[in-house]
Structure formats: structure tokens, C-alpha cells
């Protein structure tokens, strides 16, 4: 950044309440400075980018009309609230965004008094803000409650559950702002998006509504018969049902306002004034049309690419990439291997179909969609629906593969249990981003899938040691004729050769990778390679370790585990997941049930939240990085 500040007005703000006294010209200047600050700052740190460029004017307008020390605001998802963070006292710490011990990329109640509700997953804002409004009324307090939802979050059922309740309660001083940018991460899908597009583009309806309503109101009803008056009134109501935007929201009990141009501060100001007046009568929904990436051409042209970015050259509009060693080809990511393998298997079996929840590119299903568009279903941000939709596909003879991030499948817990596992349906859950994901922090770490799936009946749970084993496990899962979950990490794979043809694995069979006499290392997934390296280092120090690649969390290979657990003096279990209820719990339960009483070291994530930061740094801090693991295991093996 330049030594001479390019943000004079922004730098002058010591408290967000100052913005309430700004002139229209100052508000325009402030919006421009915030946008430039976002470009300058995120080009250095990385982070969510295009979604935040789209909410600059909306944030400034809200700060101009409301005082969020008193009023309450809930930003859905949270990756559209960087301008809000900047204006609520965190600008000078913005260079620490998503870094270890730095600012979170989402809202956190313990980060600022202005963060009224934590965020990270989608579609929670309306329910949370409504709860705040009801608590306010019960305590006879007086402040506004606002939910800013959008960026795809309105496709989720929970958003409509909140709308339904708010309309029923006739919640006063309650505002929902629909930030409609035609996007989530991928382009929005579903009939609701088509409805919103109709509201925005339906200027024909607006013109004819105005003309017809004007003509009806011009009729001198006092001079005509009651029958004609009744007919005129009926015509007006009938036309409203056809033409008035926001009828869906009106029927849910909201006063609908908009759509409003979300980058026009004057239009936003007028709309917020009107909204504030109408909020005294009941809940209001303000429909704001924004553009993802607004103000930065590369992000406007490709909002998906610029949704979440690494550091980039702001002038050139090019992402900065690590310099690769040309003598060592970069291995593909686990996500790429999954996507290409699924497409490969689908060429041989027309019953294989893919399901995802607004994450086509993130899960690698964009490859599948290009090859088999009729067999690929993006249901939008609706994980519960995705799971039960897959169940419907399965009962009719298809082989669904539901590719959903580990952290997001949590939202479909009941559906996985009730609609899939209890009916023993052959659905494969491909859980990307399992383990510690890094900068997105505790709302996105995939640490809990083993614990929340292991308790379910009928399900097979696997984790591969490398990308070749991922291919084998995917085939195993698809054809095991029962529910199956396959978890794998974010990032680059190990670079091992990919075998063809793909050979499925026998269910519940682990792999002995190394024999040893002193300690047994039972490793799962990403911990297998470190276990082998540590076993080699310990061997140099005279400690003989056996290493088992468990492969399966459920069912366990009880024969292999039992044989080697009885041969050694000590047992260490290694997993990149939470210790309570996870893989290490499964191993200790097995040992206890079989009377194998040996010292056990559980190398897993302890029962606490893992914050955001560099993935390797977090692993080391949690005792799962290479140095930390070696120290722990070395001390454990030498213990008296």
C-alpha cells in the first residue's frame, strides 16, 4: 500500500456512529475508499473477495441509517461482511485477516461488540435475528433487528422457516435484506432464483401495474354501481396477484420493498427510510440487487474465480502462485482426483449420478457436469434436501454420489440417519475438506464427520492414505450396496501412481505397511504417511514400530488390529479428526471390548475449537504436525 493514505475519510472514522452524520457526497467517497481498501488489502492477504465488493454501498447505507451498538444485525454466511468489519473498528487489523491469531474471515461474537451473531454456514441469519427480536420484545427493549441474507442463502429451507415464523409472529422492527447478486459461490440454481430474476427484470409488469392501478383509482366509484366498484376492486387484487413483485414474501406476512439498485446510495437511502417506517407495522423484506465483484473488472467478469482468493496482483488482476519446481510435477489435488475418477466410473455405469449443494467446482463435480449434465444435480445451498433427494434417486435404482464438504454435511445429519442409513440405501457421501482446512477456521474445519457418522447403523466409513487409494475407495463405496462415506482432505495429493483398472477394496480390511515389535501405530487417512516416516526415524533410535493403514473406521479390521495389538507393548492411534467419538475412540472401544489392556496414545484433535490460520501451523499446534507427532510418539515409546 502507498505511504500516503488513499483513504482519508475512512482513516478519519474512529467510531461507526460518525457515518450517520455524513453527507451524500461523503457517503459516496467512503464507499469508494472502502472498495479500494478491500482491493489493496485482500490482494496481500487473500480472502473472500467478490462477495464483499458487492456489499460496500449496502454496508455504508446501513451504517448511515442504523446504530449497531444499539441495533442488531446478522450477516448471513459472513463472507459478505468485510466492509462491516472495516467500519466497526477493525480496519487497522485487517492485514491479519484469516491469519493465525488474526481477524476471522467471518463474524465472531468474541471478536467485536458489533458482531451480534457468529457466522460461517449459510441461511441462519433470519432465524437468529428473529430470535433476537423476540427476546427484545419480551424484555421490553427498543432496537431494530436486521438480517442480511443472500449470496445464495435464500435457496435453503431454513431461510423460509425463519420467514414463515416471522410473518406468523408479525414481528415488528424486524427487517430482512435480500442481497440478490444472482450467485452463491457457483451461479444460483432453482425456481426461486428464476422468481427473483423475474422481479428484477419484470419492468413490463411494473409499467402495466402502474397504468392499470392508476386507471382503477381514476374511476369515480361514488358515481357507479356497487357491482362495478366491486369488480374494479377485484380487478385490482387480481392484477396484484399476477404482477406485483414480492407476492411470495407478502403472502408470508412481509411488506415487500424493491428491488432496489444496491450500488446506488441514494436509492438505498430512500429504501431504508421507507423500510424503517414500515417496520413499525410488521416485518419488512427489502430486496437489493447487487453485483458480485462490483468495482473490480476481473471479479465482475469471473465472480466464481474471485470468490475466494489467494494473494494477487491488483493492477494486473492475476493471482500470485507459488513458483513450482519444473523438475517435480505438481500432483493433482484430492478434489481433482475424486472428480476425474467419478467421471471415469460414470462412463462405465449409467446409473451413477452426482449430487452437490452449490459446490460444483469446490467438490470437483464440474468435471462430471461437463461430461454428464443430465446426471449431475446441483440443489443449491440445501444439504438436507441434497441427502434425501439422493435417497429418492437410490430407491429407484440409481447409484448417487453426494459430494458435500465435511463441515456442510453436518447440516444433513438427520437426513443421513433417517432417510439413508435406517433404510440402508446405497448412497456414497464424498466428504471433501475433511480435517483442518486452515484460514476459514472453526466453522469450516472438517473435524467431526467421523464422530457424527460412526454412531449410525449400516454405514461404511473410509479414509484413503493417498490419491490412488481414494480411487479404489470411491469404487468400493459406490458398489458396496449400502451407505458409505469417503472422507479426504483439502489440498494437493501425494503424487503416487494411479493404477488402472481401479480395483475395489474388501470392506473392513486394513493394510499392514510395516512390522514391528515395540509400538503399533494405527493411522487413518492423512496420518498414514507421517506414521511411516516416524516409524523409520524411531527405528534409527532402536524403537521398532509396526504401522497399520486402517483404511476403514467402520467396520474396523478387528482381526488385523487384534493380532498386532497383542504383539506389541504400546499402541498409538493417529487421525485428523476430533478425539471425542472419532477414530481413536473406535480403536480404544475395540481394545477394551476385547480385553487388550495396553498403554494407548490418541493423536487426535482435543475437545476444543481449532481456530483459523495456516494449515501446517494449526496441525503442529494441535500435535499433529511432523515435529509435534515425532516428539509425542518418541516420548510415548520411551515411557516407563
- Active site (catalytic) residues: 292, 383, 411
344 φ/ψ sector (left φ>0, alpha ψ -120 to 50, else beta):
alpha
User: Is 38 within 8 Å of 83 (Cβ atoms)?
Assistant: yes
Closest to 486 measured CA to CA, from 584, 570, 615, 363:
363
* Bridge partners for 522 per DSSP: 548, 573
Number of C-beta neighbours around residue 5 at 10 A: 13
User: Which residues touch 484 (CB under 8 Å, ≥6 apart)?
Assistant: 426, 427, 428, 429, 459, 460, 461, 462, 476, 477, 478
Whole-angstrom distance, CA of residue 47 vs CA of residue 441: 12
Q: CB burial class (10 A; 0-12, 13-18, 19+) of residue 161?
A: middle
Closest to 184 measured CA to CA, from 292, 335, 55:
292
Question: Rounded to whole angstroms, what are the CA distances from 252 to 144, 151, 163, 284?
Answer: 20, 21, 7, 11
Place of cell 494449526: 618
Query: What's the gap between Cα 554 and its chain centre?
Result: 26
Measured in residues, the chain has a length of: 640
User: Which residues touch 565 (CB under 8 Å, ≥6 apart)?
Assistant: 520, 571, 591, 596, 598
Whole-angstrom distance, CA of residue 453 vs CA of residue 402: 15
* Bridge partners for 214 per DSSP: none
Number of C-beta neighbours around residue 195 at 10 A: 13
Q: Is the dihedral of CA 370, 371, 374, 380 positive or negative?
A: negative
Amino acid at each position: 500500500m502507498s505511504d500516503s493514505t488513499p483513504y482519508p475519510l475512512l482513516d478519519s472514522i474512529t467510531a461507526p456512529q460518525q457515518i450517520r452524520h455524513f453527507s451524500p457526497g461523503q457517503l459516496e467517497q467512503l464507499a469508494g475508499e472502502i472498495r479500494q481498501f478491500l482491493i489493496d488489502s485482500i490482494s496481500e492477504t487473500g480472502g473472500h473477495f467478490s462477495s464483499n465488493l458487492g456489499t460496500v454501498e449496502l454496508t455504508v447505507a446501513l451504517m448511515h441509517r442504523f446504530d449497531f451498538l444499539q441495533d442488531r444485525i446478522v450477516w448471513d454466511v459472513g463472507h459478505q461482511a468485510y466492509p462491516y468489519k472495516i467500519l466497526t473498528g477493525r480496519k487497522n487489523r485487517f492485514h491479519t485477516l484469516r491469519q493465525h491469531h488474526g481477524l476471522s474471515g467471518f463474524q465472531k461474537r468474541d471478536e467485536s461488540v458489533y458482531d451480534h451473531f457468529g457466522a460461517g454456514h449459510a441461511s441462519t441469519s433470519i432465524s437468529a435475528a428473529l430470535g433476537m427480536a423476540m427476546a427484545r420484545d419480551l424484555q421490553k427493549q427498543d432496537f431494530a433487528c436486521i438480517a442480511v441474507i443472500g449470496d445464495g442463502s435464500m435457496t435453503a429451507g431454513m431461510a423460509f422457516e425463519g420467514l414463515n415464523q416471522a410473518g406468523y409472529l408479525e414481528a415488528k422492527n424486524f427487517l430482512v435484506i435480500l442481497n440478490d447478486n444472482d450467485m452463491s459461490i457457483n451461479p444460483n440454481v432453482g425456481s426461486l432464483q428464476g422468481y427473483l430474476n423475474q422481479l428484477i427484470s419484470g419492468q413490463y409488469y411494473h409499467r402495466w401495474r402502474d397504468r392499470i392501478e392508476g386507471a382503477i383509482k381514476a374511476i369515480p366509484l361514488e358515481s357507479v354501481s356497487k357491482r362495478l366498484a366491486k369488480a374494479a376492486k377485484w380487478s385490482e387484487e387480481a392484477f396484484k396477484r399476477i404482477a406485483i413483485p414480492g407476492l411470495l414474501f407478502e403472502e408470508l406476512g412481509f411488506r415487500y420493498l424493491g428491488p432496489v439498485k444496491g450500488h446506488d446510495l441514494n436509492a438505498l437511502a430512500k429504501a431504508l427510510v421507507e423500510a424503517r417506517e414500515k417496520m413499525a407495522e410488521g416485518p419488512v423484506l427489502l430486496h437489493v440487487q447487487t453485483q458480485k465483484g462490483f468495482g473490480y473488472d476481473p471479479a465482475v467478469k469471473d465472480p466464481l474465480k474471485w470468490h475466494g482468493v489467494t494473494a494477487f496482483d491488483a493492477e494486473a488482476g492475476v493471482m500470485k502462485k507459488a513458483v513450482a519446481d519444473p523438475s517435480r510435477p505438481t500432483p493433482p489435488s484430492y478434489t481433482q482426483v475424486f472428480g476425474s475418477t467419478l467421471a471415469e466410473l460414470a462412463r462405465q455405469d449409467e446409473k451413477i449420478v452426482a449430487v452437490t449443494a452449490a459446490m460444483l467446482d469446490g467438490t470437483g463435480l464440474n468435471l462430471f457436469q461437463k461430461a454428464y449434465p443430465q446426471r449431475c444435480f446441483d440443489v443449491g445451498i440445501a444439504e438436507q434436501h441434497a441427502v434425501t433427494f439422493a435417497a429418492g434417486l437410490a430407491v429407484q435404482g440409481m447409484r448417487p454420489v453426494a459430494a458435500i464438504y465435511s463441515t456442510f454435511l453436518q447440516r444433513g445429519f438427520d437426513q443421513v440417519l433417517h432417510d439413508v442409513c435406517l433404510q440402508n440405501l446405497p448412497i456414497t457421501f464424498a466428504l471433501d475438506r475433511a480435517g483442518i482446512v486452515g484460514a476459514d477456521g472453526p466453522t469450516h474445519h472438517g473435524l467431526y464427520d467421523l464422530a457424527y457418522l460412526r454412531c449410525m447403523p449400516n454405514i461404511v466409513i473410509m479414509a484413503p492414505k493417498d490419491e490412488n487409494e481414494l480411487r479404489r475407495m470411491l469404487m468400493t463405496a459406490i458398489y458396496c450396496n449400502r451407505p458409505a462415506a469417503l472422507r479426504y482432505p483439502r489440498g494437493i495429493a501425494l503424487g503416487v501412481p494411479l493404477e488402472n483398472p481401479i480395483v475395489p477394496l474388501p470392506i473392513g480390511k486394513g493394510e499392514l505397511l510395516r512390522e514391528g515389535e515395540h509400538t503399533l501405530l494405527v493411522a487413518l487417512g492423512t496420518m498414514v504417511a507421517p506414521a511411516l516416516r516416524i516409524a523409520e526415524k524411531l527405528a534409527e533410535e532402536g524403537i521398532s514400530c509396526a504401522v497399520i493403514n486402517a483404511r476403514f473406521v467402520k467396520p474396523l479390521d478387528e482381526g488385523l488390529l487384534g493380532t498386532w495389538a497383542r504383539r506389541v507393548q504400546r499402541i498409538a492411534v493417529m487421525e485428523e479428526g476430533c478425539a471425542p467419538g472419532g477414530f481413536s475412540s473406535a480403536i480404544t472401544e475395540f481394545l477394551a471390548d476385547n480385553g487388550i489392556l495396553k498403554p494407548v496414545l490418541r493423536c487426535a484433535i482435543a475437545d476444543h475449537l481449532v481456530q483459523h490460520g495456516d494449515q501446517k501451523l494449526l496441525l503442529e499446534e494441535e500435535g499433529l504436525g511432523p515435529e509435534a507427532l515425532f516428539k509425542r510418539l518418541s516420548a510415548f515409546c520411551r515411557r516407563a
